[in-house]
Amino acid sequence: MSEPDELQRPPAELRFADELARLDADDPHPKPKGWVRSPRAVRAFVLGDRTREITPKFVGHASLVDRAMVALATHRGLMLVGEPGTAKSWLSELLSAGISGTSTLVVQGGAATTEDQIKYGWNYALLMSEGPTPTSLVPAPLYTAMEQGRIVRFEEITRCPLEVQDSVLSMLSDRVMAVPELGDDGLVYARPGFNLIATANTRDRGVNEMSAALKRRLNFETVFPIADREVELALVRRSSSEALTEAGVPEPVPDDLLEVLVTTFRELRAGQTEDGHVMNRPTTVLSTAEAVSVATAAGIQGWFLHGRTATARDLMGSMTGAVVKDDLDDLKVLRGYLEQQVSHRSGGAWSELWEARTELPLDP
């Protein structure tokens, strides 16, 4: 394995290896069977612990993390649902890194996902010469997770065809996988510590179509956008300036612009202004992750195209792209927001945003 520094994106267990080592050095609490560390240590890893210099990595309800861990310690799988950009996959990565020491047993769900990408496939050359033997079998993440007693992550599970989703049923209930080609030796029993974290996005083909049998074997946890404005602002500030530094832009996006951006996103997301005026919401998801990329894009545009820090004009350009995606009515929502709300607001960045409304494309 390469050093984390050389990787474009190291997995959580490598990126935070030193923090995990610190936690392991002092973890007197009981561990569920097969877990590499105790639930309390995992909670500290995910939510942070100032006293041990563990950074908070997931911003959200602490009780959600508790419920998720308890589900994983029992025989129910965990299903993380929520709008895009609410850090479901990130939470799943952190939990599996914390619980089983690896977060890389991942199945990426999609329309083309097949059973052999989930359970096992074959090395066809060996299969031809040796026939179906354990050596010619190529384990897929679920197989490995069961065999080693680890957490397997199933990303975007609802994007898979229903019959593919249901192929994990017996592994979740009986905790055994049958490999009929291997005959009598072909039963893989899950070792303690095995479990599954699935994620699904409420804007996709939701969880409603999922079979009742599978639903029954999963504990559902909904991950919500960040509730606290200041916390969200701090996250956008930190992440966008990190991304800009990475991209070679020395100037972060000015703070008053970030505040305008985060307020706009929060108000459009909630369909309500901070002072309680109810208004229309766009159909697009305005996640914190989206706000970070809007801020980053504005910073890059300002720096590389105009040689200066980002302005409201740069922001308006990338914001329009974020708000208006496939429904042109969202443009009206954004225009309405600018006309009804922003036009009344005073203060530098708000006035600049109002001035920058000319950047909006015309109604088609």
Partner 1 sequence: MTVHVLGVRHHSPACARVAAWLLDEVQPSTVLIEGPSDFNERIDELCRLDHELPVALFHFRGGGGSRRASYTPFCDTSPEWVALRWAAKAGACVRFMDLPSHSDAFFVSENRTADRVDRYAEAMRALCERLSVDGSDAAWDHLFEQPDTPANVRERLDRYFHEIRPPGHPAPGRDTEREAFMAQCIAWASERPGDVVAVCGGFHKSALEEGWPTAPTTWPEPPPRSTDNVGTYVVPWSFERLDSFTGYAAGMPSPGWYQALWEQEPAAGAEAMLAACIEALRARKQPVSPADHIAVHVQLRGLMALRGHTSPTRIDVLDALCSALVKGALDVPPPWTRRGPPLAGTDPHLAVIVQTLRGRRVGRIHPGTPRPPLVQDVHTQLEAHDLVPTAAPRTVQLDLDDAADLQRSRILHRLRVLSIPGFRRAEGPEDPTSTTRSEQWALRTGPRLEPALLEASQWGPILEDAARARIAEAMEEADRLDERVSLLVDGLFIGIDELAEEILGIVQQAVASERDPGTVARAVRLLLAVWRHRSAFVPAAHPVVGDVLQALMSRTIQIASELRGGAHRDHLGFGIAARDLLRHGPVDGHDRGLALATLRRRVSDPVAPIDLRGAALGILHDAGDDQSERASLAVRGVALEHLGDWLAGLFAVTRETLGRSTGLLDAVHERIADLGVEPFLEALPALRLAFAWFPPAEREALGAALLQRLGRGDEALQLAATDVAEEAAGLALEQRVEALLAQHRLLGGEA
Residue 2 or 51 with smaller CB distance to partner 1: 51
Q: Which stretch binds partner 1 (CB under 8 A): 75-83, 102-110, 116-124, 286-294?
A: 75-83
In the complex, what is the shortest distance from the CB of residue 342 to partner 1, in angstroms, rounded to a whole number? 12
Min separation Cβ 53 and partner 1, Å:
14
Interacting positions 180-239 with partner 1 (CB under 8 A): 200, 202, 206-208, 215-216, 218-222, 224, 227
Q: Which of residues 70, 127, 138, 169 is near partner 1 by CB under 8 A?
A: 70
Mark the segment that binds partner 1 (CB under 8 A) among 126-134, 191-199, 289-297, 333-341: 333-341
Within 8 A by CB and 6+ apart from 50, the residues are: none
Taking CB under 8 A as the binding criterion, the range among 56-64, 90-98, 136-144, 319-327 that sits at the site for partner 1 is 56-64
Q: Which is nearer to partner 1, 74 or 245 (CB)?
A: 74
Out of 213, 329, 348, 361, name the contact with partner 1 by CB under 8 A. Answer: 329
- Cα dihedral 221, 224, 226, 228, rounded to 10, equals -90
Compute the least distance from the CB of residue 324 to partner 1, in Å. Answer: 14
Asked if 267 interacts with partner 1 (CB under 8 A), we say no
Distance CA 314, CA 305 (A): 10
Tell me the three state secondary structure of residue 121. strand
Residues belonging to the chain: 364
Task: Give DSSP secondary structure letters for 337-362.
Answer: HHHHTGGG--SHHHHHHHHGGGGSPP
39 binds partner 1 (CB under 8 A): yes
Angle at 45 (CA atoms; ends 43, 51), nearest 5 degrees:
95
Write the burial class of residue 278 (CB in 10 Å: 0-12 exposed, 13-18 middle, 19+ buried): exposed
Of 74, 114, 135, 245, the residue at the interface with partner 1 (CB under 8 A) is: 74
* Other CB atoms within 10 Å distance of the CB of residue 124: 10
335 is an interface residue for partner 1 by CB under 8 A? yes
| 73 versus 107: smaller Cβ distance to partner 1 | 73
The answer to whether 283 contacts partner 1 (rule: CB under 8 A) is no
Helix, strand, or coil (residue 106): strand
Tell me the DSSP string of 168-231: GHHHHHT-EEE-GGGGGG-EEEPPTT-EEEEEEETTSS-STTS-HHHHHTEEEEEE-----HHH
Give CA angle at 42 (41, 46), nearest 5°.
120
Among 336, 347, 348, 361, which residue sits at the site for partner 1 (rule: CB under 8 A)? 336
* Residue 112 Cβ vs partner 1, minimum distance, rounded to whole Å: 25
Structure tokens of 200?
């699904």
Query: Taking the complex as a whole, how short is the minimal distance between the CB of residue 73 and partner 1, in angstroms?
Result: 6
Q: Is 287 exposed, middle or buried (0-12, 13-18, 19+ CB in 10 A)?
A: buried
Q: Does 71 bind partner 1 (CB under 8 A)?
A: yes
**With the C-alpha atoms ordered 201, 207, 208, 210, is the resulting torsion angle positive or negative?**
positive
Q: Which residues bind partner 1 (CB under 8 A)?
A: 30, 39-40, 43-44, 47-48, 50, 61-63, 65-67, 69-71, 73-74, 76, 81-82, 200, 202, 206-208, 215-216, 218-222, 224, 227, 271, 276-280, 329, 332, 335-336, 339-340, 343, 363
